[in-house]
């Protein structure tokens, strides 16, 4: 089974000015594609040749894990957006946020802090734990909460290739804008 770069549901310039077209061309078109290509080359002749990305994340290590997780992470990240998104969640997710964080504003503040303070490259995640409670975790490099049995709900990519062309070293500005392109319908469906 060959992995493929998933198609976007929006154009490369649709998330501008939060994520500009040039960043999308590099981040999605080059980085995400490179992870797909690398993974396809690495799994040939291994027990992961016909495995799902979820299986690779849970069972692999080294280059297969790194590239498989990055394919999954980026697909999850890019599918969380829509042009003119933003706002706040509703329904059961909103109720759980209220219960676990006090308010959406508190969740946003804590998640943004996790995204801006992660040292080096990686991901900030909103996850659902086995007990149904929500939590925020930081994962370095290709880290993915599936490896620890959690359910990912939302992620913010804080590798420099996600924001450096548009924001240079201003990661907090990128994270602040991130909230304005979220597709809460998609994100709530993960809960």
pLDDT tens digits for range 107-140: 999 999 999 999 999 999 999 999 999 999 999 9
Gyration radius of the chain's alpha carbons: 16
Buried b (16+ CB within 10 A) or exposed e, 104-129: eeebbebbbebbbebeeebbbbbbbe
pLDDT in tens, 12-67: 999 999 999 999 999 999 999 999 999 999 999 999 999 999 999 999 999 999 99
The reported pTM is 0.95
pLDDT of residue 131: 94
- Per the CB < 8 A criterion, the answer to whether 154 and 179 are in contact is no
Domain that holds residue 97: 20-191
Q: Is residue 3 one of the residues assigned to a domain?
A: no
* Model pLDDT, residue 1: 67
Provide, rounded to the nearest whole percent, the portion of the chain with pLDDT above 70.
99
The residues with which 136 forms a beta bridge, in sequence order, are 126
CATH of the domain at 61: 3.55.40.20
- What is the number of domains present in the chain? 1
Given a cut of 70, is residue 102 above it in pLDDT? yes
Alpha-carbon gap, residue 81 to 24, rounded angstroms = 12
Asked if residue 43 is part of any domain, the answer here is yes
The answer to whether position 155 is within a domain reads yes
- pLDDT tens for 137-183 read 999 999 999 999 999 999 999 999 999 999 999 999 999 999 999 99
10 domain residue, yes or no: no
The dihedral sign for the CA sequence 60, 62, 67, 69: positive
């Amino acid at each position: 089974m060959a992995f493929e770069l998933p198609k976007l549901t929006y154009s490369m310039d649709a998330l501008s000015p939060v994520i500009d077209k040039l960043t999308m061309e590099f981040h999605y078109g080059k980085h995400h594609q490179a992870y797909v290509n690398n993974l396809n080359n690495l799994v040939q002749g291994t027990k992961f040749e016909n495995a799902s990305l979820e299986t690779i994340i849970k069972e692999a290590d080294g280059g297969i894990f790194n590239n498989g997780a990055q394919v999954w992470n980026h697909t999850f990240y890019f599918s969380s957006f829509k042009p003119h998104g933003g706002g706040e969640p509703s329904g059961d997710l909103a109720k759980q946020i209220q219960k676990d964080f006090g308010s959406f504003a508190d969740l946003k503040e804590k998640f943004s802090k996790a995204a801006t303070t992660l040292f080096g490259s990686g991901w900030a995640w909103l996850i659902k734990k086995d007990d149904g409670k929500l939590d925020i975790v930081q994962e370095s490099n290709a880290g993915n909460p599936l490896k620890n049995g959690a359910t990912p709900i939302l992620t913010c990519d804080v590798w420099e290739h996600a924001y450096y062309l548009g924001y240079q070293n201003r990661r907090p500005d990128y994270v602040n804008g991130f909230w304005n392109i979220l597709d809460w319908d998609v994100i709530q469906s993960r809960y």
